[in-house]
Amino acid sequence: MKERLELAATLNRDRELLDRVQRASGVSVKDCYQCGKCSAGCPAAFAMDYTPRQVIRLLQLGMVGEALKSHTIWVCAHCQTCYTRCPKEVDLPRLMEALRQEAKKAGFIAEKNIDIFDRAFLSSVERYGRVHEMGMMIQFNLQSLQPFKDALLAPPMLLNRKLNILPEKIKDGGAVKRIFAKVRAGNQGGDEH
């Protein structure tokens, strides 16, 4: 009896998770008919544990936890190749992003450095309206506990003006900050439901 109750609870949780991921991404996983065109064209598939097609298959089978724990959802570069090739217009990049968000909430971050890089990139854009590469890389190196990673590349890049020591701000930085605030407010609203 206890095992049955546990199984029912797991199935319910997986169904709720799948509903949330489908709502957030606008993708219905039933639309995919497993032709594999997405995986065949994906430039990052070589580094994934599950191909994009297999991630959708996991969701179709209700194995949401397995998808959340995968490296694939972090390795996806959101390049849109799969989306443009898909005969059913399944928006895989948005699906991968929704899975990432749920994985973070559940504490499954299979690629910690990619998560750290994402946060460093976004905080730089929020602060200056554009990326300040030098600051972003310093933040990434410190948070990923590899302070001297690629440090020898900095001097020649500075000499060739490929890097700026000081950040440059855009004119209307407030507009970018408002976009971030709006997205945060939207996410909080979504969490409450």
Q: Is 7 in the site for ligand SF4 (CB under 6 A)?
A: no
| Minimum distance, C-beta of residue 18 to ligand SF4, in the bound complex (Å) | 16
| Minimum distance, C-beta of residue 39 to ligand SF4, in the bound complex (Å) | 7
Give the binding range for ligand SF4 (CB under 6 A) out of 86-94, 120-128, 129-137, 164-172.
86-94
Q: Is 21 in the site for ligand SF4 (CB under 6 A)?
A: no
| Minimum distance, C-beta of residue 70 to ligand SF4, in the bound complex (Å) | 12
| Minimum distance, C-beta of residue 21 to ligand SF4, in the bound complex (Å) | 14
Among 24, 37, 122, 157, binds ligand SF4 (CB under 6 A): 37
Residues 6+ apart with CB under 8 A from 158: 165
Q: Is 93 in the site for ligand SF4 (CB under 6 A)?
A: yes
Q: What are the DSSP calls for the chain, one per residue?
A: -HHHHHHHHHHHHHHHHHHHHHHHHT--GGG-----HHHHH-TTGGG-SS-HHHHHHHHHTT-HHHHHT-SHHHH-----HHHHH-TT---HHHHHHHHHHHHHHHT--S-HHHHHHHHHHHHHHHHHSS--HHHHHHHHHHHTT-TTTTGGGHHHHHHTTSS-SS----TTHHHHHHHHHHHHHHHHHHHH-
Among 13, 15, 30, 88, binds ligand SF4 (CB under 6 A): 88
Among 67, 90, 120, 137, binds ligand SF4 (CB under 6 A): 90
Contacts with ligand SF4, residue ranges (CB under 6 A): 32-38, 42, 44, 52-53, 56, 76-82, 85-88, 90, 92-93, 96
